[in-house]
A = this chain, B = another copy of it.
């Protein structure tokens, strides 16, 4: 049987498009950061060695996570500058020196898929260790990514980026889940590409294009879940994948669930959490450790991490709420809260346009279609929203921002900014009258 490949996890991509959220690898969808839960899944699949490629900014954070992963060797490589995926892969080479012929399994930390994809790739590789295997996401809908060019027998002969719906060479979108049977040949090919003077930065794809001429590249089709964290609203998609993995009602012994509280469907209730009278947690839902779901509140299809206060009559629906957020008599709908957000009484994240159309959001100055019919707000770490604030669908609020009472937030609010509504008052009566 072929040896298990060495895992390469690319985690050095910039997270700036995730603003006002931060580092993707550190986002928690349950008890562990994303990178840790990904590594644990790989370990369970039999991987024994992993190299995480970080960038200079997240290197320390990532290194700090690794003691949470036992049972496999994990090392961190650093890509000093953002020079593309090929350059990132090359950073793993020194850590493999002296290992002899090695197969590589290349993944991105922010791609969340079913284990079935990994198993299918590993199975294919075990059946025939002489080929390279690329995952192909089968979908009838057009997706603006790379498409695989495939022969009848499943041999990949090329890739084409964003061909347009009419010019798709197949219905197989490339996911970065690649088993290369020979690391040395891949590294050589990548080095050659970087030695040239290519205009574009798709060195990895061009290296593979060359290799395909002499090596066997095979597609492993996949029809399961695939969520990629690129924009901050994708947190909701990834959350849904994790929520779908909760089975039954897992209530910690130290948790309190009031007699008149209701748990419906698949729910996780963490250590020391409290579900007060009249509250409901409707699955799939995750309530973290020491989080309080106050009287008559509702958490449904959501993740509320640790040490949060979900105050009286608060509703959290289809939303992700990180540690230490305080909410009270408010409505958190289709939204993402970073840690420590204060969402006061009477606040609402409006989630539906009056014209019921798809919700746009602005990223780096560009208005994007989020593809979502319902989307609330994305709110950065430690932001304070005073009472009766309303956020328009798709707005983002920066870290530490302050929003005064009664404000309608119509546009994104930058980090640390304070906005407030000016109110014109009339007056009559009293002693002066």
Q: Which residues of A contact B (CB under 8 A)?
A: 258, 260, 262, 264, 276-278, 280, 282, 295-296, 298, 312-313, 315, 317, 328-329, 331, 333, 344-346, 348, 350, 352, 354, 384, 386-388, 390, 392, 398, 401-402, 404-408, 410, 414-433
Contacts and interface: CB of A to CB of B under 8 A. Distances in A.
Nearest to A416: B430
A352 B420 CA distance: 16
A392 B346 CA distance: 14
Given A262-B258, A280-B278, A431 B419 contact: no
A142 to B, nearest CB: 31
Given A296-B298, A312-B317, A406-B408, 15 more contacts: A260-B262, A276-B280, A278-B280, A282-B295, A295-B298, A296-B296, A298-B312, A354-B402, A405-B408, A406-B406, A415-B430, A420-B425, A421-B423, A421-B426, A422-B426
Contacts of A427: 417-420
A357 B264 CA distance: 40
Contact of A312 (B315, B406, B414, B429): B315
Most buried by B among A282, A387, A429, A431: A387
Nearest to A278: B278
Main secondary structure of the interface of A (DSSP, over half): loop
A348 B350 CA distance: 16
Given A277-B262, A387-B348, A388-B390, A423 B407 contact: yes
Nearest to A414: B430
A328 B352 CA distance: 12
A262 to B, nearest CB: 4
A416 B432 CA distance: 10
A55 to B, nearest CB: 23
20 contacts: A260-B260, A277-B280, A278-B280, A333-B345, A346-B390, A348-B388, A350-B387, A350-B405, A354-B402, A388-B388, A388-B390, A401-B430, A404-B426, A406-B408, A414-B431, A417-B428, A417-B429, A420-B425, A420-B426, A421-B426
